[in-house]
Structure 1
Amino acid sequence: MKNFSDKEVRWGILGVGNVCEVKSAPAMNLVPNSRLVAVMRRDEAKVKDYALRHVVGKWYTDAQQLIDDPEVNAIYIATPPNAHLELTRMAAAAGKPVYVEKPMARTHGECLQMIDVCHQAQVPLFVAYYRRALPHFVKIKELMEAGAIGEIRSIHVNMRQVLEPEIITKLENNWRVDPEIAGGGYFYDLASHQLDLLDFFFGKVTHAAGFSGNQAKAYTVEDIVAGSFVFENGVLGTGNWCFTSSESAEIDETVIEGSTGQIRYATFGKGEFTLIQDGKEPQLLQFELPKHIQQPLIHSIVDELLGRGLCPSTGISGARANWVLGELVKERVS
């Protein structure tokens, strides 16, 4: 990485959509030695409105102009995945660190290209898998490393969601089920967080295989996935994802089985999890989550750029999530 000589991270954002309203962008002004100085969106009316509401001094409708702004020294790419590779190329060519939304790209191959262009330009690449920095997930990792549930035996991810009517009625505006934009469907959008979090806990997945299907025919991409995976430490995992289930069956639960206990949590739920240890009453551990949910991860990026810490979510780890996603949907059944 080139020496980041500035004493302040001055962010420019490409694509100020919904994720930038509360989750991410406002946090950039709350982290010490960090400021949001410019935003970009192709729709002039929308980008001007965003800049006015969030008190951002500069706005652009052209990505290259924002990247070339000398005041901007770090780029946050908050567009849909189809633009991530090209915008990363542009930012890296300008010598500016890149923070990109998840999933990192549409395919593992695109992720590898992003890693390569940043490596060649000697700029860091971070990915918005912010759950790696949230307090309850950090605590789960600490407990497991301390042996709270013994040796880890297996993991199971179970996710079922209903097919919301607006998904069908507004299909033409829903990029999350357009594979040319998103790479896949809601599995890519949501399971990417779950699989990356497991990577944070247990390291990279070395083997993965699965089956995907499209049962409801509401859109063209997968709406159900089942698969298994093996981590580098030998722990086995399985997962089942269905996005057309009944209301009564809705669930978001990951279960980590140990030799002397169990941990249960919802990836997209509150800041809490259940710890079950042999011979003890189950404990519900609860943590307060930040209003701007990406703030702890953004803080870690700023710390790394300023030479006072490390970010736990990089292009290397983000690409691994894409690889597992691709392997799990590879075998399509009719």
Structure 2
Amino acid sequence: MKKIQDTEVRWGVLGVGNVCEVKSAPAMKLVPNSKLVAVMRRNEEKVVDYATRHGVSKWYTDAQELINDPEVNAIYIATPPNAHLELTKLAASAGKPVYVEKPMARTYQECLEMIAVCEEKNVPLYVAYYRRALPHFLKIKELIDQGIIGEIRTVHINLKQVLKPSIVANLDNNWRVNPEIAGGGYFFDLASHQLDLLDFFFGKITQATGFSSNQGKAYNAEDIVTGSFAFESGVLGTGNWCFTSAESSEIDEVSIYGNKGTIRFETFGKGEFTLEQDNKGIEKLEFNLPKHIQEPLINGIVEDLLGQSESASTGKSAARTNWVMDELTKNRIA
């Protein structure tokens, strides 16, 4: 697989929006051997504003023009999922590595097309499942691999959120609950992080089945999903996601049960988790998270592109998560 021939990665960002304010793009200026050299957004006023505030010298309103910029040697696609496939094809055709936001695409089939074009053009494909590189999740994986809680038996995801009035009032501008843009609703946006983490911890999910429904009727996408899944490692899991819950029942918890203990954590909370071992009580472990949350993953991608290490999140690993989401939601209950 061709990486890059240069001594530094010079990023061009397509769809420079909210995710690029703090989470991702600023880290591209901080990581060693990495620069942010160009940004693109169709709205000229907004892209000029971003470039000015963040000290980026080049800006574009056309994706192909940024891709063709000879100074840019790697592309970050920060648009909603409906544009990921098309833009990946354009970037790969120009021979430039691709880093794409999560979820990787709207469907597993689109993911396969993205992988295929990148393989055909011999360019790497990475996906922004940045939790794989955060310190507390790395520690959890280390503890699992060391057998601290014994042989893993089951894992359970429980995510419940309130349907906020602001969501209902702003549906026309909320692509995250528009299946034509996002592939689904908040399940695709949030559960993708959780399922990818489990892939990171335990390996590939080989079987998955579930049910989805739209109980709240606030928008067209599913707002509740339940399911079960099995990993190739033998671990079994379940998930329950509801985005129209009561405030009193809001929860974000993943529980990993071994035959010698339990690990519990919030996917979207602080850099902390609890470890409970038989006869040793409960221990709380806390870690500092970076200001720019994608920085550790971006650092790994830059090192991968320069031939120094391997990235934790690739197109192939991310596509597996889309497959699981498709399987869990395909049985839609009216």
Normalised to the residue count of structure 2, the TM-score between the two structures is: 1.00
Report the 3-state secondary structure (helix = DSSP H, G, I; strand = E; otherwise coil) of the residue aligned with 1:131. helix
Report the 3-state secondary structure (helix = DSSP H, G, I; strand = E; otherwise coil) of the residue aligned with 1:282. strand
- Structure 1 partner of 2:313: 313
- Equivalents in 2 of 1:30, 1:149: separation in Å? 37
Report the 3-state secondary structure (helix = DSSP H, G, I; strand = E; otherwise coil) of the residue aligned with 1:216. coil
Q: How big is each residue's C-alpha offset from its partner over 1:149-188, in whole Å with a ceiling of 9 and x where there is no partner? A: 0000000000000001111111011000111100000000
Report the 3-state secondary structure (helix = DSSP H, G, I; strand = E; otherwise coil) of the residue aligned with 2:12. strand
Task: Report the AA paired with residue 254 of structure 1.
Answer: V
Per-residue deviation at 1:142? 0.4
- Equivalents in 2 of 1:28, 1:304: separation in Å? 14
- Structure 2 partner of 1:214: 214
- Structure 2 partner of 1:304: 304
- Equivalents in 2 of 1:44, 1:156: separation in Å? 45
- Equivalents in 2 of 1:324, 1:65: separation in Å? 35
Q: Gaps spanning 5+ residues in structure 2: where? A: none
After the TM superposition, which segments of 4 or more aligned residues of structure 1 sit over 3 Å from their partners? none
Taking the TM superposition and a 5 Å limit, the aligned residue runs for 1:73-222 are 73-222=73-222
Identity %: 72
Contact 2:4–2:73 (8 Å) recurs in 1 = no
- Structure 2 partner of 1:251: 251
Contact 2:125–2:314 (8 Å) recurs in 1 = yes
- Structure 2 partner of 1:272: 272
- Structure 2 partner of 1:15: 15
Report the 3-state secondary structure (helix = DSSP H, G, I; strand = E; otherwise coil) of the residue aligned with 1:222. coil
Task: Report the AA paired with residue 167 of structure 2.
Answer: I
- Equivalents in 2 of 1:2, 1:289: separation in Å? 32
- Structure 2 partner of 1:326: 326
Report the 3-state secondary structure (helix = DSSP H, G, I; strand = E; otherwise coil) of the residue aligned with 1:72. coil
Task: Report the AA paired with residue 64 of structure 1.
Answer: Q
- Equivalents in 2 of 1:126, 1:10: separation in Å? 16
Per-residue deviation at 1:3? 4.6
- Structure 1 partner of 2:51: 51
- Equivalents in 2 of 1:220, 1:82: separation in Å? 16
- Equivalents in 1 of 2:244, 2:190: separation in Å? 14
Q: How big is each residue's C-alpha offset from its partner over 1:189-229, in whole Å with a ceiling of 9 and x where there is no partner? A: 00000000000000010000000011010001100000000
Normalised to the residue count of structure 1, the TM-score between the two structures is: 1.00
- Equivalents in 1 of 2:120, 2:240: separation in Å? 38
Report the 3-state secondary structure (helix = DSSP H, G, I; strand = E; otherwise coil) of the residue aligned with 1:275. strand
Contact 2:3–2:306 (8 Å) recurs in 1 = no
CA-atom RMSD in angstroms:
0.5
Number of residue pairs matched? Answer: 334
- Structure 2 partner of 1:35: 35
Q: Gaps spanning 5+ residues in structure 1: where? A: none
Task: Report the AA paired with residue 15 of structure 1.
Answer: G
Per-residue deviation at 1:4? 1.6
Task: Report the AA paired with residue 226 of structure 2.
Answer: A
User: CA separation of 1:24/1:3 partners in 2, compared to 1, >3 Å: closer, same or farther?
Assistant: closer
Task: Report the AA paired with residue 310 of structure 1.
Answer: E
- Equivalents in 2 of 1:330, 1:169: separation in Å? 28
Per-residue deviation at 1:281? 1.9
- Equivalents in 2 of 1:157, 1:249: separation in Å? 14
- Equivalents in 2 of 1:186, 1:2: separation in Å? 35
- Equivalents in 1 of 2:212, 2:69: separation in Å? 44
